[in-house]
Amino acid sequence: MNQILIVEDEAGVAAFIEKGLRKQGYITSVAQDGQQAIFLTQNSGFDLILLDLGLPIMDGWAVLKELRDRKETVPIIIVTARKDERDRTFAFDNGANDYITKPFRFTDLLERIKIHLNRS
């Protein structure tokens, strides 16, 4: 079973993703802020992280930097409302494996998750 960390401060979005992933057989955990995400990644072996950028306490950019500075190789898919091409480029340049914008179809997210889990 693959373990996925959902880092999302909007409860409705997190619940939507978590429900869909659990139906597909994934084990999920949710972090509602960046600081909690860093803590959880230190204590669990996640196979993939879904990371929002607009988080309280510690934003998604700082989480991405921290994880990559720690040499974490877990695939990270940015899931954000930010549609600016510069944000997308910056994310990839700083270690993100994929980038999907809200709103999205769950099937599109699921497809990208499967691609990255098969690579790892």
Whether the predicted model's global pTM rises above the 0.75 cut: yes
pLDDT of residue 82: 92
d(CA 60, CA 65) in angstroms, rounded, equals: 9
d(CA 14, CA 8) in angstroms, rounded, equals: 6
pLDDT averaged over every residue in the chain:
96
d(CA 49, CA 47) in angstroms, rounded, equals: 7
pLDDT of residue 120: 54
Domains of the chain: 3-119 (3.40.50.2300)
d(CA 110, CA 64) in angstroms, rounded, equals: 21
- Residues lower than pLDDT 50 in the chain: none
pLDDT one-digit tens code per residue, 4-28: 999 999 999 999 999 999 999 999 9
pLDDT of residue 44: 81
pLDDT of residue 43: 80
